[in-house]
Structure 1
Amino acid sequence: MGIIVSMSNIDTRTATVLFFWGCPPMGALLICARKRSYMPSKDSKTPGKDDANVVKFNAKDEKQAVKEKNRPGLTVSKIVTYVILALLAIVMVFGVFPSFGSRGSSSNIEFGSYDGTPIEFSYGNYFYRQYQQQAQQNKATGDAAAYQIWRGAFESTVFQTAMSKKAGDAGIRVVDETLNKAIIDSGVYDKDGKFDIATYEKASIESKNQVKVRYEESLPVQMVVNDVTSILSAPAELDYIVQMGDTARSFEYAVFDSSAYPDDLTRQYAQANPALFTLIDISVISLADEATAQSVRASIESGSTTFEEAAKTNSRDSFAAEGGRAGTWYLYELQDNFSVPEEVNVLYSTAVGQVSQAFAAPNGYVLYRVEQAPFLADFEDSEVLADVKAYIGTRDAEVVTAYLEGKAQEFAAVAALAEDFAAAAEEAGVQTVSVEATPVNVGGSNYLAGFSYTDMGGYLNAVANDTEAMKTLYTTPVGEVSTPLAANNAFIVAKVTGESAMDTEMSDYLKLVYPYMSQSQSQQDLIQSIFTSGKLEDNFLTAFMENIMGVGASN
């Protein structure tokens, strides 16, 4: 195993800006990520009730807030986007394009500035044209689409402004000959594939001016972009990357997570925190807003409809088809579906058969019906103990840290002398994960494979950016066992099972694609340098919410 070249590790901002500049990076995909929440049902503890469902209280339109599973880490940009999309979900949008009246209107919307130059939206300017272009590309409707379109136009304008300043600082000017050639080559006045003087003369003065301005703005910027992204890399740089790929190592590791915590200590923890593991059997109806929830509740209470019929007709979650039947849940699980977590206690006080009040959830409102009164879980049940261990591991990991580290150290000493690592792990009662040859890639370089590709368990990937952990993994002699490493609220002990060089086929492939990857990286670095610069004042969110969505501080 040698190197796997990642062709799609391009952030959304970079891809968007380059796409509308006409130079999409190789492998770039524009992705709008959504967070979703899943909670494992306990219907197996409800007599006569078969549960294969996964709860997602706002599932029909995929709008529920989420618990993260094993997935790539979130960037600040993504986190902000999730927050914004959640805010937009409560806004009714009747129009997302501001009214400017006549062409002579002086109405402007300022979204920030770059190096003192306002980033503003006004009739006919660059921001305005970018908005129109992106709206044509993105045919989706709704709040999320509006945000994406406006944000994309804003970022393109920031990029244009920054690069125009770089062009000005470099003394780049567009001479008439270059401008005229660019306009002719653009094909805007072509007929039958060739420039047509008659077509040009028929065009209005306004149209001609728009085309001229467009190329006067874009040509200097394109020259700067081409200069920056066409810088040649030294042959020694590629040799260094290939050399890094020649140190690929394979591993087998044992995992000491909360599942290894003793049953008696787990039972003690549960008995000390009984409320968290109190179960309740419920049915649910998930609705978009409080008014709808109150209306549905009134219909059920008046007898004009049943809870089951109301769920099938109105509910937005995955239990609608079952008449809202959701099964049995721990209190700590249900807390995640309450905007005010303490309100779960009100639900637990609701009488059996009664429809609850409408509770605010992360993205809507929920009605519950209690099917069975709350009851304490059976702490002698192995499945319950597994649930308690999972809770401790993810929400109270400090409880088990010292114990797991000690067990990992004991195992490392035994495994160092054992001929069969997997057998030693089995005897210790822990699972092992095998990882194929992977080069050292501490910085997460796009040019090299990393544990995100090869580690199906996810624990080595969790320490991929930890310099000391990676040093341990790649300096431990082949055939020997590492010291315990902390990863994902657990401890792992790894055995280095082999080391291999890059094969000729992979080496040749890397040499082929490296120039393209290098150019793509230069594009990304250029854009990131602009958006992380102290010269950028980003007031987009405030301006968007107040001027586009109509939601201000006084609303």
Structure 2
Amino acid sequence: MEKSAQSEFIRRFKSNPFVFVGTIVILIIVIVAFVLVPAMVPNEGANIDLTFGYYDKIPITYVRGNYLAQVQSSYAQYMQRSMNESNALSISSQVWRSAFEETVIHIGMLQEMKKAGFVIPPELVDKEVRALPQFQENGRFSLTKYRQLDKATQLSLWKDVQDSLIAQRYLSDVSDLRQSSKEAAFIGAMASKERTFAMAAFPLSSYPVEEITAFANNNQELFKTVHLSKITINSNEREIQQILTSVEEGGQLFEEAARTHSQDNFAESGGDTGVKMAYELTEEIPDETERETVLNLARGDISPVVKVPSGWAFYRAEETPQPADLNDQDTVEKIRTYLTGFRRGIMDDWLIEKAEQFIARAEDQGFDTAAGELGLVKQNFGPIALNYGNFTLFKALSSDTAPELASAVSNENFWRIAFSTSLQSPSAPFILGDNALVLFPLEENTLEKENIDSIASSYSSYWLDNNTDQSIRNRFVRSEKLEDNFWITYFRYLQPSI
């Protein structure tokens, strides 16, 4: 019996927390003077701060008589009969955590309504207070009974009723919320047209070596190689100037100074930074004049002190700068990496140009023939509906057989081109990921009305399933506005009392 009561409490709270909480809220309003369960609340005289966290910077604190205390008491009373020596710790933590989360939700709802500018008319609050059972006598409100409460208690009760009405209005608005019938019809219309496609892809990897070397020859200063060593000081410029002077005057060797003083990852290697291309120093030495000075050092020359992101540094050239060896495959691939990261537009323009040449052939000779002559692999996919984001209720786009479409699902340009291009004609070329693509819509089918209506109907159920009480509850309990320190406070102050 005890286990079943505990299970029922958890089931009711987790399966439909707002309905269950609504019952608790009513109970709180009705029962002003509540009975605390022994050993589940701190001692009366305990001087402790039971602040379990903050929601939207509002403290979630247990103070006798406040919302958290009332909910904790109500939950504790509900669970009291199923509590024994063996399960006391478990039930206590469940009660306190449930009360904490309910308070988070309560504060969250009040804050949402406050920010929305919602105000409960005072006369409505007065009416609800007068209707409370504890103030009824012979079926009517008893002013005498009400005046038996001191002013502070009256004010607190009035505020509790006001907050409860605001929270109930929030819950009512959310539970009555329905998506527009036009929205369901719109989803049905999206699913109504299904297209199949052929596709030609021009991958970034096809960008030729000849284009890379031509770019490198026109930008030789970017890719000349330098072999440098450096000493870095992060503290102050005066210190590094003293080290530079010592090295220049022969007071210590560059390598010794690097190992002794340098404050970077190259200290142990005597300052040797290895061979780099000139463009790799752009972020390391932001000032262009200082960077050019370092890049043009002759072998053995030492630079003046230059500003670097971490502080100050000076460099020594281990070799005289050399032009990039464009016959070396590793060098060419390094330049390709530069283009991909910093000058991607040049490569994309080349891909688009090749795609446009293909389109001209396709319009003249046909898609399949043009693809065959250029050695392109034609890929087919579909049928798919206009399904941005791969909505689960109708046919989705899969990239399993066409990896070039891996990023297409949430790409607006892809969907616009796919469903605006005329049938049996090539689309305009466009960049998607690491490819330039040309789509060729093969055919389009319209679903039967029953299928469209079924999708629209299913969307209504889908929408409701994804806007349940639980998801709304998670809005607050998992909100970034919540600073959750519950378990820290619970284990510090409450667990030892069990």
What interval of TM-score do these two structures reach, taking the shorter chain for normalisation?
A: 0.3 to 0.5
TM-score using structure 1 length = 0.43
TM-score using structure 2 length = 0.46
